[in-house]
Structure 1
Amino acid sequence: MKKNKLGKSDLLVTELGLGCMSLGTDKAHAQKIVEAALDEGINYFDTADLYDFGVNEEIVGQALKHVRDQVIIATKVGNRWNEKKEGWNWDPSKTYIKEAVKQSLKRLDTDYIDLYQLHGGTIEDHMDETIEAFEELRTEGFIRYYGISSIRPNVIREYVKKANIVSVMMQYSILDRKPEEEALPFLHKHNISVVTRGSVAKGLLSEKGLEKASASGYLEHSYEDLQQSISELQEKVAHSRSLTEIALRYNLANPAVASVIVGASSVEQLKDNVKAVNSLPLTIEEVALIQKIVPSHTYQAHR
């Protein structure tokens, strides 16, 4: 599988990364999916301390221990479970980040994290303190690189200006083209890679299509909009390939995107995603046609 350089780092990530949130808590089942991912050449695994109260990190760490030096493990920090584990609070403080990383390292059973990501962020955060924490963790050898997971233009701009981030994880798909106008060109200009999530738009851009649609639609798209757009995509673009292929290859057609992170709850689903990413790139004409079929929108908040 093709690999791309992640920003200014020396990390080479496969075009498909495994989103580990959907692995579940059955260790044997999760191990099968991770092993299948490794067999398919995937080297990029994304988790977070938030998933399953940290159990996800434990499962990922155990499943990858025998190939630790051959894979890239990304995890996230900033969302802090309350004592009763009924919800979480946002905590991007230096004190919390430097304590949380120790717990993540322990659960992952590793000496270092390849990519440590801030799991959110607001413009009101004390960013200098947050950045200081990440920089110190790099100096101390606990993390190799850091990035943020955010769709907020104002937050992204500040981190690009103030920090040495190598990546931004954000939601991006044919049905959510908001990053195209400002985020993707801006990050590409600054040599910061985008890692995408939500590329199949909750299954709407999979073979299930409208079966996954709700009566209220999806984001800015009404149900009627979805009916028309998905029907046109299937008829005019996906006539010789799957809708999942179109969806994942569309993300990778943008030069800012290094990898698409996609979850898989079964080995079969994983293999379908691998097939989609390994399919032929979209042509310039296909990209233009997709953009004609599905309108773009702009971010209204977090300016």
Structure 2
Amino acid sequence: MRTRRVGTSDLHVSEISFGTMSIGTDEQQAIKLLHEAQDLGINYFDTADLYDQGRNEEIVGKAFKGRRDNIILASKVGNRLNADGHGWHWDASKDYIISQIKTSLQRLQTDYLDLYQLHGGTMEDNIDETIDAFETLKKEGLIRYYGISSIRPNVIREYVKRSNIVSVMMQYSLLDRRPEEQTLDLLAENQISVFARGSVAKGMLSDKTTEKVKQKGSDGHLTYTYEELLAASEKLRLLAKNEQTSVTDLAVRYILQHPALASAVMGASSLEQVKQNAALTTDRLPDDLYAQLQQITKPITYDNHR
């Protein structure tokens, strides 16, 4: 599988990567999924301390014990579990970030993270303090690089100006083209890479597009009405058929087209899904096909967080 460089770092990640949130808590099955993905050429695995209240990190740690040197491992911080075990609250303080890395490393059975990401971010945060926390962890060798996971343009701009982030994880798909408005170009200009999540839009951009639209899109999606989603899904299905490819392939190749993109972070809860993800084509789309996909869908702008 081809790889791309993450920003100005020395990390080179597979163009299709694995978001581990959906692997479940059946340890034996989850480890099979992770091993299969690695064996098929996926080298970037993205977890978070919040997933299954830390259990996800534990499983990922067990899966890659003895394989650690062959993967690029990322986790996230900022959503702090409440003391009573119910729910969580936002905490981007330096003290919390520095204390939480030790817990994550213990669960993951590793001495360092390749990438540590702020799991959100608001304009109300003490951003300089948050940045200082990540810089401190970097100096101590506990993390190699850091980034943020955010869809908020105003927050992203502040980190671009004030920090040394190498990446931003954000939702981006044919049905959610908000990053195209300004953010992707800004990041590319500053040599900061994007990890795209949600690239198949809950399956609505998969090979079961019409079926998934009926299941997941009955109340619409962002600015799309249900009827618009159905119309788009039918056009995508026909286009994929004409191109002798799959809707999923077109959707993933579309988001990987922009130079800011490092990888499409895909989830999987079965071996079949892992194999399908790893087999996705990542070849660059011809310009005319890219334009057709843009005509089938529509640009969307951010209403908030500008």
Same fold (TM over 0.5): yes
Would you say 1:57 and 2:57 are equivalent positions?
Answer: yes
Partner of 1:155: 155
CA contact (8 A) 1:237 1:290 kept: no
Secondary structure at the residue paired with 1:21?
helix
Partner of 1:186: 186
Q: What whole-Å deviation, never above 9, does each CA across 1:250-284 have from its counterpart, x for those lacking one?
A: 111111101010000011111111122x3543211
Partner of 1:217: 220
Q: How many angstroms apart in 2 are the aligned matches of 1:280 and 1:296?
A: 23
CA contact (8 A) 2:204 2:212 kept: yes
Partner of 2:274: 270
Partner of 2:297: 294
The one of 228, 241, 245 equivalent to 1:241 is: 245
Q: How many angstroms apart in 2 are the aligned matches of 1:224 and 1:153?
A: 29
Q: How many angstroms apart in 1 are the aligned matches of 2:249 and 2:72?
A: 24
Q: How many angstroms apart in 2 are the aligned matches of 1:237 and 1:286?
A: 10
Q: What whole-Å deviation, never above 9, does each CA across 1:64-95 have from its counterpart, x for those lacking one?
A: 11111111000000000112222110000000
Q: How many angstroms apart in 2 are the aligned matches of 1:29 and 1:283?
A: 39
- State the aligned residue count: 302
- Classify 1:224/1:155 alpha carbon distance in 2 versus 1 (closer, same or farther; 3 Å): same
CA contact (8 A) 1:62 1:108 kept: yes
Q: What whole-Å deviation, never above 9, does each CA across 1:170-218 have from its counterpart, x for those lacking one?
A: 0000000010120100000000000000000001001221222232111
CA contact (8 A) 2:41 2:278 kept: no
Identity of aligned residues (%): 56
CA contact (8 A) 1:116 1:143 kept: yes
Q: How many angstroms apart in 1 are the aligned matches of 2:209 and 2:236?
A: 10
2:195 maps to amino acid: V
Partner of 1:256: 260
Q: How many angstroms apart in 2 are the aligned matches of 1:52 and 1:7?
A: 30
In the alignment, structure 1 segments of 5+ residues that lack a partner are none
Query: Quick check: 212-221 or 260-269, which moved more?
Result: 212-221
Shift of 1:105: 0.5
Partner of 2:21: 21
CA contact (8 A) 2:196 2:265 kept: yes
Partner of 2:120: 120
CA contact (8 A) 1:197 1:261 kept: yes
Secondary structure at the residue paired with 2:279?
helix
Secondary structure at the residue paired with 1:296?
coil
Q: How many angstroms apart in 2 are the aligned matches of 1:249 and 1:272?
A: 14
Q: How many angstroms apart in 2 are the aligned matches of 1:237 and 1:46?
A: 29
In the alignment, structure 2 segments of 5+ residues that lack a partner are none
CA contact (8 A) 2:209 2:237 kept: no
Secondary structure at the residue paired with 2:194?
strand
Aligned counterparts, 1:134-149, within 5 A: 134-149=134-149
RMSD: 0.9
Secondary structure at the residue paired with 2:41?
coil
Partner of 1:12: 12
- Classify 1:168/1:279 alpha carbon distance in 2 versus 1 (closer, same or farther; 3 Å): closer
With structure 1 as the length reference, what TM-score do the two structures score?
Answer: 0.98
List 4+ stretches of structure 1 deviating above 3 A. none
1:224 maps to amino acid: E
With structure 2 as the length reference, what TM-score do the two structures score?
Answer: 0.97
Partner of 1:95: 95
Secondary structure at the residue paired with 1:66?
coil
